[in-house]
Structure formats: structure tokens, C-alpha cells
Structure 1
Amino acid sequence: MGELTGKHALVTGGGSGIGLAVARALIDAGARVTICGRDESRLLAAGRAIGAACVVMDVADRRQVDAAFAQAGQVDILVNNAGQAASAPFGKTDEATWQRMLDVNLSGTFHCTQAALPAMLAAGWGRVVNVASTAGLAGYRYVAAYCAAKHGVIGMTRALALEVALKGVTANAVCPGFTDTGIVSDAVANIVAKTGRSQEQARSELAAGNPQGRLVQADEVANAVRWLCLPGSGAMNGQALAVAGGEVM
């Protein structure tokens, strides 16, 4: 019997990368898991591989979110992992890019949390874990919209944590540094295209910000999320934990 046996966890962006690693870690801890995402074929393949239920939804669309949560049923643990990153100099960041970063990374987290929270409050127990980024704790060049959205996620997490502190629910964030996932692969491709560097040089450049000199692994982020979800982690509330090898302290 795992520590999360009897709990139902929903993980957004659960078809790959950090989300898939989180879903697997929660299943290993005994939870029943539903993974959500926009890519139905990838989602279903992931669900079959790890034994998770699947619900297709776009977190930026409130109607889809409400329908998905109605289909999934009561959620005890919510992991808001779905996200996107786009890169451009500040002066060349267009309105569409700015809005998309807010819609997916910040509003998506808001929509899903609002959908899950009433049942948690009624049960007197719940865990909300938002996968933010070290970009929510520090500034990075050329990703102003992404940084703004992730800073917003951390601010929202802290505000929610205070509101639910006496109600058996906790709200926390994990803040990965550059992690070996599809988003980093896209960043590497962007660096290669714009600078002519090799893929290895681009990856090394991203890893150089980590004092350990490497990219974070998805399973390492998943371990932090899993710990925050455990019954014994109830004193953790309103925190933003950097999983970044010491890059942010």
C-alpha cells in the first residue's frame, strides 16, 4: 500500500516530459492518476504505458477544463504542469506570443485550480502543486512573456496557500531549471538556428547555468512533486522549490 493509496491525482501536460514522470511517480506512490493534454494520440499512448486514465483538454480553454474535470471526477491532488515557452527579444515579443504565454502558463493553472479546489475543500484535504520554473524566481533574457507568466504562477500559489492554510489543503510550486525535455529540445533547436552553434554547444550553454553543469532530469522534478503530495508533507505550504542544482538559492 503506497502513501497515496485512495487518492486521485490529475496531472496536466501528462503525456510527456515532466508531466509523464510526475504521473508515474504518483502511481508508484499508490495514487490513481488521470493525465490530461491536447495531443490525444500521445496522451493515450502514455496512459497505456503507465496505467493512467486520459482526458483530452486545452488548459487555456475554460470550457474544456470544466468538461474535463467533470469527466475525471473528484481530484485530491492537482499537478498543474502544462506549459509552453516562446523566445524573442522583448522589443520583438508580439501581442499574440505574450497572450499565449499567459493563457497557457498562468491562466491554465488558474482554470484547473478553480475546477479542482471545491472538492478538496469539501473533503478537508488536498494538494495543489504548480510546476513553475526558475524563470518564476529570476529573470532570463529573451523570454519576458514566459518569465512574467511563471512569476504569476508563483504569486498565485502563495496567495492560494494562505487562503487554504486552515482547510487541509496545501498549495506549492516546484521550479525546475533547464530540464531535459521537449521544451529544452526546442530551445536548443532555436539556438542552433539563430547562432549556428552545434546542438551539443547549445545544450552545454543551457546546462552551464546549473552549478552542477548539467540539465535537470524529469524524474528529479517528479520526486519533488511526489514529496509535496504526501500526507506527511502537510507543513509545506506556499513554497517555491527550485530544482536546479543550486542555480537559484
Structure 2
Amino acid sequence: MTMRHALVTGAGSGIGRAIALALASSGLSVSLCGRRAAPLDAVKAEIVAAGGTAFVLSGFDVTDVQSIETGIAKAVSEAGDITVLVNCAGEAPSATFEKTDLALWNRVIGINLTGTFLVTQAALPSVRRAGKGRIVNIASTAGLTGYPYVSAYCASKHGVIGLTRALALELARSDVTVNAVCPGFTDTPLIDGAVETISGKTGRSPEEARASLARANPQGRLVTPQEVADTVLWLASKKATAITGQAIPVAGGEVLGG
């Protein structure tokens, strides 16, 4: 029996790393996609040490069609058709709307939204062939509400959720489901950048800045990457066969409903 195959973009750190480790621990072979080899190699080493199977696809640029097509072809040749696709690559730079120039806007939309579109479009034939496929897009509570100083990020994640819902309906009569997971403020390197920005602009200490982000969660804490990964793992399982077109918040009640 061929091992099921998951492909995860942005797999080198944070939420992507946690998702890759969770999928591998559940018995899937995992293709680890990202631009830099070193963090992907480190994740592969963790997976292999735990008895799992992983493949590194470095130089995988979600904004470059040729890079995507080459990477997916290599992944399929090494591990078979893709049964679980997780789009996790993303950026969240901070700027006021008035200081958000076109270059920043295009970069964020290109990675977060267009990248999700390009990877999904390239991988979908393989997902269809695999049967009982799962596509999970890592969006954000920023795709369900608004936050100041991240207008490009909010716009991109709203777009990811819209894309998720449209594709889910197109594929509803197939055996492929499409869902979005929407983390709130999560304890990852991405949040470290937000903490640094808040500290620099407000004069608050990093500890105070981190606490202010945690207070956005009614549970009074940051979400853990593992909690996001567990949600993806459930969506990838047989138990979630009837779940499609959903935007699921993982945010301690910060956003109610999807």
C-alpha cells in the first residue's frame, strides 16, 4: 500500500513546521517546501528521527510558476500523488495604510494569496488523482476581521478565504475538500516580528508587547503552533469528509464563526 503524501509550503518554521511534524506523525510522507534549505533540512531531520518520511523541496518559491511546477513534479515522482496539500507560506509585514507602498502590497498579495492560487492550481490534478484529497489553506483571523497596520495582510487573507470557499463549491461533487484554518496571534517567529514592531513604535518592552497580543485572545494567551496543526490534522482525516468550504478560527474565541 502506497503511503499517503502531504505537501506543505512554508514548512521550515512556525505553523508550517508544526503541521509537517503532525502529518508525518500520523503516517503521511511529507514534502517540505520553502525557499531555504537549512530550516527544511532541520524539519526533515526531526521527522526522520521520529521514524517518519520527508522530502526537502528547497528553492520552492510560491510566487514563481516554474519553481512551483518543478517542485510539485519532483514531489510526485518521489512520494506519489498528493493527498493533502497545505498552503502555509506567508508574510505579515506591518505598515500604516498610508505607508503601504505598491511594492509591499504586491509582495504580500503575491505570496499570501496569489501563491496559494498558483500552488493549488498546479497541485490539483495530482490531488484529484490521489483520491479523497484534502486542501487546507492557512489563512488567519485577519481574513475574518480587520486589524490596523496590516492592511495588505488582511486583504490577502480575506482573499484566501474567498478562494477557499469558491474552490470548495467547484469541487463539492468530487472527493476533494477545501478548507481554511484561521489562527489568531500564534507563538511563532512571525509574532516575534510583530512584537519587535510594537516595541519600536510604542516604546513598550518586548514582554509588554507580547502580552498586548495575548490579550486579544479571550483566553488571555497566544495560540500554539501545535493547536493549529491539530486542526489541520483533523481536516486531513476521514472524520472531516463532510467539512468543506469552511474558515475555522483557532483563536480562543477572539473571532466567533467563520
- Normalized against structure 1, the TM-score is what? 0.96
Matched, 1:187 2:184: no
Q: 1:200 aligns with which of 179, 194, 207?
A: 207
Q: 1:241 aligns with which of 227, 243, 248?
A: 248
Q: 1:85 matched to which residue of 2?
A: 92
Matches within 5 A, 1:58-97: 58-73=61-76, 74-97=81-104
Letter in 2 for 1:176: P
Letter in 2 for 1:117: L
Q: 2:19 matched to which residue of 1?
A: 22
Residue by residue, what CA displacement relative to the aligned partner does 1:33-72 show, whole Å, maximum 9, x if unpaired?
Answer: 1111111111112111213211010111111111100110
- Report if the CA contact (8 A) 2:83-2:131 is conserved: no
Q: 2:149 matched to which residue of 1?
A: 142
Structure 1: distance between partners of 2:3 and 2:231 = 20
Structure 2: distance between partners of 1:15 and 1:220 = 17
- Report if the CA contact (8 A) 1:34-1:55 is conserved: yes
Letter in 1 for 2:71: A
DSSP 3-state at the match of 1:14: coil
Structure 2: distance between partners of 1:23 and 1:80 = 11
Structure 2: distance between partners of 1:34 and 1:123 = 15
- Report if the CA contact (8 A) 1:175-1:241 is conserved: yes
- Report if the CA contact (8 A) 1:60-1:103 is conserved: yes
Structure 2: distance between partners of 1:146 and 1:17 = 17
Matched, 1:152 2:152: no
Structure 2: distance between partners of 1:214 and 1:60 = 33
Matched, 1:121 2:128: yes
Runs of at least 5 residues in structure 2 that lack an aligned partner in the other structure? 49-53
Structure 2: distance between partners of 1:122 and 1:78 = 13
- Report if the CA contact (8 A) 1:15-1:47 is conserved: no
Give the superposition deviation at 1:151: 0.2
DSSP 3-state at the match of 1:35: strand
Matched, 1:131 2:138: yes
Structure 2: distance between partners of 1:220 and 1:100 = 28
Matched, 1:10 2:7: yes
Residue by residue, what CA displacement relative to the aligned partner does 1:83-122 show, whole Å, maximum 9, x if unpaired?
Answer: 0001111111000100001010001101110111112223
Give the superposition deviation at 1:80: 0.3
Query: Quick one: percent identity of the two aligned structures?
Result: 57
Matched, 1:54 2:56: yes
What value does the CA root-mean-square deviation take over the aligned residues? 1.2
Residue by residue, what CA displacement relative to the aligned partner does 1:164-222 show, whole Å, maximum 9, x if unpaired?
Answer: 11110000000000000011000001111111110110001111110000000000000
Give the superposition deviation at 1:146: 0.3
- Report if the CA contact (8 A) 1:12-1:82 is conserved: yes
Q: How many residues align?
A: 246
